[in-house]
Amino acid sequence: MKNIFKIVGAFFMILFVVGCSTKKDAFLNRNFQAMATKYNVLYNGNEALKKGLIELNSNYSDNYWKRLPIEPLKIDVLALPGAKNKSGNSSIQFEKAEEKAVKAIQKHSMLIARQERNSQIDDAYLLLGKSRYYSKRFVPALEAFNFVILNYPNADLINETKIWQAKTLIRLQNEEQAIENLNKLLKEEELKDKIKEKAHTAIAMAYVKTDSLQQVINHLKKAVLADNNNEQTARNLFILGQIYREKKLIDSSNTSFQELINFKKAPFKYKIHAYIGKAENVSTKEEALANIEVLKNLLKDRDNRPYLDKIYFQLGALETQIGMENAIEYYKKSLQASKTTDLQKEITYQAIGDLYFDKAKFITAGLYYDSILNITKEKYTKRIRRLTRKRNNLNEVIFYEKIVKTNDSILKVASMSKEEQTAFFTGYIEKLKANEELQQQQINTGSGIYSLNTTKNENSNTGKWYFYNIQAVGFGEQEFQRIWGNRPLEDNWRLSDKTQLNLDNKTNIAQKENVISVSEKLKLPYYLDKVITSKSKIDSITKERNEAYFKLGIIYKEQFKEFALATDKLEKLLTFNPVSTLLLPAKYHLYKIYSNQNNKKAIFLKNDIINTYPESKYAKIILNPNEVLNNDSEITPEDEYATVFYKYKDKLFEEVIKKTTIAISKYEGEKIVPKFELLRAYAIGKKEGLEAFKKALDFVAMNYPNTEEGKKALEVINTIKTKI
């Protein structure tokens, strides 16, 4: 028996030794090498490639705000020849796949009489090219694919290799060659549906690069006829819906999205975005209401939880479109559902900010724009640059609105009698006490938003230990701020004044502590003692308040074209009986607003300015509104400004004053007017002296406070005051 085993073992050993040879073209050698290649080296290489693709896809995130790329592979920069990709664990797997492919070629190739006898070597070259492709090393990848096509024209995977070759050419920006090669492939007879699908998808990729959208549509439609690849078919359908929308073919777009929704094997992420895509296509109130019901039903499905932020956002967009009142509520729910600071969150903040902006609630709008600028990672994109400019334009509005609100409150309380002040602050203290009692009740009963016994769910950070419970920590932070206020994280944080702290004293006892206790804030004298009674302080606050009202009126009129807000601020300013330097320009700007509105008040203000201030610049502008330059009518405002500016440099100040006055009237309402005004002020200063210069600068600063010229005028005024 032992001899039999030895004989059998020796037989298989001989077969192994004979089969191991790659130099002999025999049936045993060919099949042994093919089997060893396929089930050993290539198997491990393909497994590494699969792992790399899983990791690559897990790190890839689609931006559904833009048209999706047909192949979800992000190419920031091409890898240099000979350089290793350091993009993470996926690149390690691709390197491993490449090593296995090279090993298969080097150890198992049977190139005999210029013909490859190992049927698996073409597979090894294909694996080699794919691993290089996903490592973003497209030039060596193309070499591998070209080698197969040139040397193995009858290989089983030759058609798939041709598709990979075309995709690599597209990545190397040789779309024309890729299209030519793929068209040749598609003309071949008896192509499998799987190959047709891949070829049409690849040629659509090429046409995307050439901006031939109709060709992209044609080939994507042919690609989705076969659904061998569920992921790519669903992606192609979604992209078709997006392209149809870009071409304003809304019915076709909806058809593509609906086809995707009905595609049972489609990955869920594409289906949910297809619902949202259809909702984005609505054009009538009836369609909007129908889609709102569809999206509300999606909210009820637990499987849709990862997409709640996007569903809520689209509900808000639909509500905004049809003018309903729940838009902001839905947008805020979208923010609450969002788990990351991604583009979706930025777009939601912007949508809310724009709603408040359109309602002329500029301070609130500014807060939401700030939220975007704090979290965005794309600070240099066109969208963020545009938003930054818009936010910067709100700075002065927010600044002056805060002055108005604060100073109005101070002056209102200061104007009250002692009895009225006592009643006012008593009511305020009662509200504080009621709030204290409510918070204490919530602590005792465990109710309210800071309850420590909230039901734990998969999305909440709760736990038995205090610091594992976000709600408990939130309550603790609120209590700390209520008692101590905002304190920096530092040693001796309890001390509000450390200037007298003796650091050499080991006991670190504070010499002075100004922390106001809660009980102090619940006493009437605390507030009554803070009421301003000094006439000089009241006058200073009144002056600051009046200037803020005037500047807000000008900003709303000139910059935001919010004429109702401008009218409100300027009319209210007139009731305060301001100084003449504010009173006259306020009346003039009100006159301009009412004139454009054909309001009868314009006539009253016109007569008032002409009769009361006949020598003022405003009266002269009103009386001579049509005076223009006699130069060529095709001259641009910029050219005209340059001409006048050179006359200023030539010290022709009287001519500069005359021409800038005419130009200001001619270009009234245009952005270049402040430039003419400032140049005119400088010419007046040169011709008439310091007092006239200051007066002219005051006019520029008052009437154009939100422009660079207005700010420059104010800066020069302050310099003049300092020198005087």
Identify whether the C-beta of residue 26 lies closer than 8 Å to the C-beta of residue 17: no
Ramachandran assignment for 702, one of left (phi > 0), alpha (psi -120 to 50 degrees), beta (any other): alpha
User: For the CA atoms of 292, 293, 299, 303, what is the dihedral angle to 10 degrees?
Assistant: -110
Low-confidence ranges of the chain (pLDDT < 50): 5-6, 8-19, 23-26, 86, 112-113, 448-471, 496-515, 627-634
Give the residue from 96, 97, 111 showing the smallest Cα distance to 33: 111
| Pure H helices in 613-652 | 617-623, 637-649
Identify whether the C-beta of residue 161 lies closer than 8 Å to the C-beta of residue 129: yes
254 in a structural domain? no
Find the largest Cα–Cα distance for the chain. 134
pTM attached to this predicted model: 0.67
- Tokens standing for residue 623: 């009386």
Identify whether the C-beta of residue 224 lies closer than 8 Å to the C-beta of residue 233: yes
DSSP string computed for 196-237: HHHHHHHHHHHHHHTT-HHHHHHHHHHHTTS-SSHHHHHHHH
Q: CA-based angle 341:62:308, to the nearest 5?
A: 55
Residue whose tokens read 């409510």: 438
- Tokens standing for residue 370: 């700030």
63 in a structural domain? no
Count of residues making up the chain: 724
647 in a structural domain? yes
> Sign of the CA dihedral 685, 688, 692, 696?
negative
Q: What H or E segment, with its residue span, contains residue 441?
A: helix 418-445
List of E strands, 343-405: none
Please report how many Cα atoms fall inside a 13 Å half-sphere around the Cα of residue 615, on the Cβ side: 0
For residues 680 and 693, give the distance between their C-alpha atoms in angstroms, rounded to a whole number: 9
Q: What H or E segment, with its residue span, contains residue 598?
A: none
For residues 306 and 472, give the distance between their C-alpha atoms in angstroms, rounded to a whole number: 26
Other residues' Cβ atoms within 10 Å of the Cβ of residue 607? 12
Sequence letter at residue 553: G
For residues 20 and 34, give the distance between their C-alpha atoms in angstroms, rounded to a whole number: 11
509 in a structural domain? no
403 in a structural domain? no
622 in a structural domain? yes
Strand partners, 116: 111
682 in a structural domain? yes
Q: CA-based angle 396:398:399, to the nearest 5?
A: 60
Other residues' Cβ atoms within 10 Å of the Cβ of residue 221? 15
Task: Report the pLDDT value the prediction gives residue 18, as an integer from 0 to 100.
Answer: 45
DSSP string computed for 150-212: HH-TT-TTHHHHHHHHHHHHHHTT-HHHHHHHHHHHHTSTT--HHHHHHHHHHHHHHHHHTT-
Number of separate domains in the chain? 1
CATH number of the domain to which 700 belongs: 1.25.40.10
> Which structural domain, as residue segments, surrounds residue 659?
537-723
Other residues' Cβ atoms within 10 Å of the Cβ of residue 324? 15
Task: Report the pLDDT value the prediction gives residue 238, as an integer from 0 to 100.
Answer: 96
Task: Report the pLDDT value the prediction gives residue 615, as an integer from 0 to 100.
Answer: 84
492 in a structural domain? no
